[in-house]
Chain A
Amino acid sequence: MNGLDVSDDVRLLVHPFAHYGAMRDAPALDARRSAATRALRVMITLGLFVSLTTTGRVVPAHLFGAMLSWSFAPLVQSVAVLAVARIFALDSPRARVLDLYFAGHGPWLAFMWLGAGVVVLAPSPSAVFYFLLSNGVLPALLLAALAHGAVLNVAMFRRGLGLSRGRTAAATAVFYVFFAGQIVTYYLLNDTLQPQLGIR
């Protein structure tokens, strides 16, 4: 690439299995620092997304406010992925598992960048969003990001952490149960879900 190196997120977006394999073969020397940097990248992107879509500008209150109020996301993800590491007795250190995990957020980062682009570049962002929504493009993109995120999780367990096929499937399922479980628990504690499910 002659000096212009692209992020692991982009490489994983294009070649999830091959690049997780490469990351396994050449792990970060300081995994803790690397994992923290990757999580920070996700949070900065989120902060920029929230600020640009709220005001069309990068404003400190929203950039840093969103990084703070969305910090539950990497926490919840870390708890889920570390729970999987424990259950499946992965021999990799925790920091390395997190380092691999936080490299695989490419689909969501790309989704946020495109969304912010509509706000920054379109003369009438709401017309574009209504158009994308009513033609099913936005839901399709969301689904694609979800699906691609799942492929990345599979690739991480299989190639990044070297699990067998069966254990990869189980680890992925357990990851999503733990991840969704924490969010659902929050809404249950707040009485948000029960009345909407007809519990009176």
Chain B
Amino acid sequence: MKNVGRAILALLAAALVGGVAEDGGPSRRVVTRDGWRVIEADFHVHTRLSDGFLSPFEVVLHARRNGLDALAITEHNVTHPAWMARWFSRMIGGPTILVGEEVTTDRFHLIAIGLRERVSPYGDLGAIIDDVHRKGGVAIAAHPVARFWPAFDAVLDKLDGAELMHPLALGPRDRARRGWRWEEMRDFHLRATKRGYPLTPVGSSDYHFFQGLGVTRTLVLARDDSAEAILDAVRAGRTVVRDRDGNLHGNARAIAILTERPIAPAEQVESAGDRGYHPKGVVDHASRIAGWLGMLGVVAFPLARRRRGPPAEGSA
């Protein structure tokens, strides 16, 4: 048994060494266009403090890994995880964390970012959006699929933005259930624009677990990478979102800036999604398999020598 224990330890040690060596890559570069800083942002992120897998601290590290400049932590009806992430991020030098909340009810989900304090989820949507604005924030319709349209249609004049890209777009086509289709989100945005409410388009990953933090994201043209500059840009509509068919959404000027001189591959760290899982080489691949086999060892074999006695008194 001693040998099995040693083998498990060796596998896990190899996995850890490989993991440390291969994790992370080129850090995110400063990208500018036409005098604007191009910020890659994910404005819809959950953590372990509601229904995600990662702690607020790990989410910050994962955002760096996935090449994001800014992140809004948006937990269901609370803001304390966002404050924790912001504290940690400031300590390690970025990315920019916006304090946010996903106001979550049975009638709508609303992303509020840039908050000075928590917003109550009770009351009608119009009043909640007013409260978001009073507390310094910006209100974005979260995944506005058909089931949420009645609530959002009534407040088009108050909303600042709407999610137009979301991982819902990346699933198998035509198989999503009605009421939860990405096309409904896109149509909501197009319809609002047609009715004279050009909501700022936002792409977010609604991150809960696994690799895909920032797999769908927003390009923001901001003065700099401060939270205030990013919020100003969202208020002014200076965002661009690429949908799953490659179409760009956003105001004409912002799109023109980014198509005149498109973002070059070298200016991006695009590791979200399956790409982030791809091994960088044989050593990387081997260390990952070692980790998985070590995990089997932890599950399947005793970690300590069993020392057992006779039956306890009276339990025969």
Q: Which residues of A contact B (CB under 8 A)?
A: 3-10, 24-30, 33-34, 37, 40-41, 44-45, 48-63, 65-66, 68-70, 91-92, 96, 106, 109-110, 112-113, 116-117, 119-121, 124-127, 129-130, 134, 162, 187, 190-192, 194-200
Contacts and interface: CB of A to CB of B under 8 A. Distances in A.
A34 B304 contact: yes
B15 A134 contact: no
A185 to B, nearest CB: 14
A29 to B, nearest CB: 4
Given A28-B308, A44-B298, A195 B121 contact: yes
A60 B295 contact: no
A44 B19 CA distance: 16
Given A109-B299, A117-B292, A190-B76, A58 B12 contact: yes
B307 A162 contact: no
A69 to B, nearest CB: 4
Interface string B43-63: 000001010011101100110
B295 A68 contact: no
Contact of B314 (A91, A134, A198): A91
B211 A56 contact: yes
Top 10 closest A-B pairs, CB basis?
A69-B55, A57-B19, A58-B15, A58-B291, A195-B105, A26-B308, A56-B277, A195-B121, A58-B19, A69-B48
A34 B307 CA distance: 9
Contact of A5 (B76, B302, B310): B302
Contact of B300 (A7, A28, A49, A194): A7
A169 B116 CA distance: 49
Interface in B203-262: 209-212
B298 A45 contact: yes
B122 to A, nearest CB: 6
Contacts of B298: 41, 44-45, 48
A116 B58 contact: no
Contact of B299 (A51, A68, A91, A110): A110
A34 B303 CA distance: 10
A52 B106 contact: no
A10 B299 contact: yes
Contacts of A53: 53, 209-211
B284 to A, nearest CB: 7
B65 interface: yes
18 contacts: A6-B300, A6-B302, A7-B302, A26-B308, A26-B311, A28-B308, A28-B309, A40-B303, A48-B12, A54-B58, A57-B287, A58-B294, A59-B23, A66-B54, A66-B58, A116-B292, A192-B77, A192-B78
Contact of A190 (B50, B55, B287): B50
Interface string B101-128: 0011110000000000000111110000
A36 to B, nearest CB: 10
Nearest to A65: B58
Contacts of B170: 126
Contacts of B284: 57
A102 to B, nearest CB: 12
A37 B303 contact: yes
B139 to A, nearest CB: 16
Given A7-B300, A29-B308, A126-B273, A57 B15 contact: yes
Given A52-B288, A187-B50, 18 more contacts: A4-B4, A26-B308, A33-B304, A45-B299, A51-B19, A56-B288, A57-B15, A57-B287, A58-B12, A58-B15, A59-B23, A65-B54, A66-B58, A110-B299, A126-B273, A134-B172, A192-B50, A195-B121
Nearest to A124: B274
Given A10-B299, A119-B277, A200 B307 contact: no
B305 to A, nearest CB: 9
B18 A57 contact: yes
Contacts of B94: none
A48 B294 contact: yes
A22 to B, nearest CB: 10
A106 B9 CA distance: 20
A162 B314 CA distance: 10
B301 interface: yes
A37 B27 CA distance: 39
B195 interface: no
A24 B301 contact: no
Contacts of B65: 55
A57 B274 contact: no
Contacts of A49: 295
